[in-house]
Amino acid sequence: MRPDFPADPRYRPAPVIRELAGGDGAPFFDPVEPARFPKHVLRYRNQRWAEEIGLGGLSDAAWIEHMGRFRPLPDNLARPLALRYHGHQFRTYNPEIGDGRGFLYAQLRDSRGRLLDLATKGSGQTPYSRFGDGRLTLKGGVREVLATEMLEALGVYTSKSFSLIETGEQLSRNDEPSPTRSAVLVRLGHSHIRFGTFQRLAYEKDADAIAALVDYCVREFDPDLAGLPAAQKAARFFGRVTRRTARLVAQWMAAGFVHGVLNSDNMNVTGESFDYGPWRFAPVADPAFTAAYFDTTGLYAYGRQSEAGAWNLSRLGGALALVAEEGALNEEFAAYPDAFEQSMADAFFLRLGIKRQGQDDFALVLSLLRWMEATRAPFERVFFDWFAGAASQARRNASPLAPLYLKEDFAATRARLLAAEPDRPARLSHRYFSRPEPATMLIDEVEAIWAPIAEADDWSRFRAKLEEIAEMRAAFGFDASAYRP
């Protein structure tokens, strides 16, 4: 190891993506050079996850060298790789996209041998930048840190914001007062293989490359499928992705989260949430609530995210039809509705802190959501009040929503919630549950966090919010942070 890189046995480099192609990386990726920035100011480092992968011992100076100037990590990728992909954007196919302002910087393995990627956003232009500058606004980086921290605390399987470094450039943007400050973000995730990666290869009619990419994904994410015949393996892999996608969308729903841009290039094969642009948390359970101002038809509204997941899966299945039998793919795809219902029950019961009861669990979820929609009860408040069901009776009686919970229109739902066995009721002893109100991340709060940064370089509200989220994460103790087949 180099002197600036402390030896840590948890650092396990694994640049396996190079096995996909030799030479220039075609048709999967292009080696690129990172941008040179005029300055580097470390604004956020995810020390908790840095410790997990053996990078926790880096000094801030060494951190900036690797996460801001992108000096290669030891025994890892010698050059960053811009990944190639296409995708449907608001249901229109776009063959002109790819990693336009990011790249894959390094790959590692965790203590269980699972593959992890370090990838960037705002790290400069690539062959796929088109007319973009390849940069990220500092506000966009702050928003992504807030989104990923909140989602992880709420039990959503999400990428982790690993590093945020302000880079000293002045950017012009239509959706922010310009000029605005710049930054480069590093994400930690279990994969950056998107549905659109397969779509590009299908567009190019490269069945051999699709088969090679299936082999790569199966080897790293679903190794129990490795011994199957090629066509069967591709279909079964698609089935796994189908179920993982259903689980992710259900977790978003239980968190009250709207991703905002559920294009096929923003969904990946591990079912991990990533690439946060115009996201929002819904203040109430409103099926029509949208995150993006440009989503004028509500295509990706809160209540339509399951439909979006299914539609994108159908595009992935179409791409895999070059190497798998259509009937087998359709059979795997048909599992989506049931997988989504079961995942909704899993996710909502987890958030409610009660144990699954049986076949009617999804009906309870629907009745709760319909009541929340009709009453416009604050989304996060309901789950805060009802965590551990009957075990939270005293807390619930002190809630501002207590009168609502006693009304006749909630009687049947209330009875089922009270009859459910509490799951991990000892969690209620955490000080988080003694708060007068739950932690939230509504758009007004995000703007209130950003305003002092923009006006006075005051990061105190940002740091305070991260501390509040850490307390919530510790209280719930959800474990949605790691990939599972």
Per-residue pLDDT reduced to its tens digit, 150-172:
999 999 999 999 999 999 999 99
**Chosen domain end from 192, 208, 228:** 192
Residues 155 and 263 in one domain: no
d(CA 332, CA 205): 23
Average pLDDT over residues 121-130: 96
Given the residues 99, 117, 215, 265, select the one marked as catalytic: 265
Is the pLDDT score of 1 beyond 60? Answer: no
Residues 288 and 237 in one domain: yes
d(CA 132, CA 432): 43
Residues 171 and 206 in one domain: no
Task: Check residue 5 and give its pLDDT.
Answer: 85
CB burial string 411-439: b at 16+ within 10 A, e below: eebbebbeebebbebebbeeebbeeeebb
- Chain-centroid distance of CA 361 in Å reads 26
Which range marks the domain in which residue 269 is found? Answer: 196-344
Measure the CA angle with vertex 236, ends 235 and 237; round to 5°: 90
Look at residue 245 and tell me if it is in a domain.
Answer: yes
Residues 200 and 186 in one domain: no
**If you ran DSSP here, which 8-state letter would residue 169 be given?**
E
pLDDT classification of 243: cutoffs 50, 70, 90 = very high
d(CA 56, CA 53): 8
Say if CB 159 and CB 274 are below 8 A apart: yes
Exposed/middle/buried for 59, CB within 10 Å: 0-12, 13-18, 19+?
exposed
List C-alpha distances in Å: 290 to 260, 301, 304, 368.
7, 4, 10, 21
pLDDT-wise least confident of 175-184, 240-249, 277-286, 348-357: 175-184
Residues 180-192 pLDDT 10s: 999 999 999 998 8
Strand pairing report for 41-45 and 87-89: unpaired
Helices (H), 222-276: 230-255
Residue of 4 and 70 predicted with greater confidence: 70
Look at residue 105 and tell me if it is in a domain.
Answer: yes
- Residues above pLDDT 70, as percent of the chain: 98
d(CA 108, CA 8): 13
Look at residue 10 and tell me if it is in a domain.
Answer: no
Look at residue 396 and tell me if it is in a domain.
Answer: yes
Task: Check residue 484 and give its pLDDT.
Answer: 62
Residues 157 and 221 in one domain: no
- H or E stretch at 302: none
d(CA 323, CA 304): 30
Is the pLDDT score of 173 beyond 80? Answer: yes
Task: Check residue 367 and give its pLDDT.
Answer: 98
Hey, which residues does 120 pair with through a beta bridge? 186
Concatenated DSSP letters of 289-301? --S-TT-TT-TT-
- Chain-centroid distance of CA 249 in Å reads 10
pLDDT classification of 25: cutoffs 50, 70, 90 = confident
pLDDT classification of 112: cutoffs 50, 70, 90 = confident
**Chosen domain end from 160, 192, 224:** 192
Measure the CA angle with vertex 192, ends 190 and 194; round to 5°: 125
Q: Is 265 a catalytic residue?
A: yes
Residues 295-310 pLDDT 10s: 999 999 999 999 999 9
Is the pLDDT score of 485 beyond 60? Answer: no
Helices (H), 411-442: 411-419
Look at residue 471 and tell me if it is in a domain.
Answer: yes
Residues 184 and 37 in one domain: yes
Residues 40-91 pLDDT 10s: 999 999 999 999 999 999 999 999 999 999 999 999 999 999 999 999 999 9
Task: Check residue 175 and give its pLDDT.
Answer: 79
Question: CA torsion 454→456→458→462, rounded to 10°?
Answer: -20
Residues 182 and 217 in one domain: no
Residue type, 345: A
pLDDT classification of 288: cutoffs 50, 70, 90 = very high
Nearest C-alpha neighbor of 14 from the set 84, 118, 99, 103:
118
Task: Check residue 377 and give its pLDDT.
Answer: 98
* Structure tokens given for 114: 């699972």
- Residues above pLDDT 90, as percent of the chain: 92
Task: Check residue 26 and give its pLDDT.
Answer: 86
Is the pLDDT score of 480 beyond 80? Answer: no
Helices and strands counted in the chain (H then E): 16, 12
Number of domains in the chain: 3
Say if CB 39 and CB 68 are below 8 A apart: no
Task: Check residue 43 and give its pLDDT.
Answer: 98
Task: Check residue 258 and give its pLDDT.
Answer: 98
Residues 191-223 pLDDT 10s: 889 999 999 999 999 999 999 999 999 999 999
Task: Check residue 369 and give its pLDDT.
Answer: 98
Task: Check residue 111 and give its pLDDT.
Answer: 86
Look at residue 8 and tell me if it is in a domain.
Answer: no
Q: What is the pTM of this model?
A: 0.96
Say if CB 35 and CB 133 are below 8 A apart: no
Look at residue 445 and tell me if it is in a domain.
Answer: yes
**Chosen domain end from 133, 168, 192:** 192
Look at residue 220 and tell me if it is in a domain.
Answer: yes
Is the pLDDT score of 3 beyond 90? Answer: no
Residues 161 and 212 in one domain: no
Residues 169 and 200 in one domain: no
Nearest C-alpha neighbor of 229 from the set 245, 241, 218, 244:
218
Residues 256 and 216 in one domain: yes
Residues 361 and 375 in one domain: yes
Task: Check residue 177 and give its pLDDT.
Answer: 84
pLDDT classification of 479: cutoffs 50, 70, 90 = confident
Q: At what angle do helices 361-375 and 411-419 cross, to 10 degrees?
A: 130
Residues 185 and 59 in one domain: yes
Helices (H), 40-137: 47-52, 60-67
Using the Cα atoms of residue 154, residue 159, residue 160 and residue 165 in order, give the sign of their dihedral: negative
Q: What is the mean pLDDT of the chain?
A: 95
Q: Return all residues near 475 (Cβ < 8 A) that are at least 6 apart.
A: 427, 430, 431, 432, 433
Q: Give the SS3 label for residue 484.
A: coil
Residues 455-469 pLDDT 10s: 999 999 999 999 999
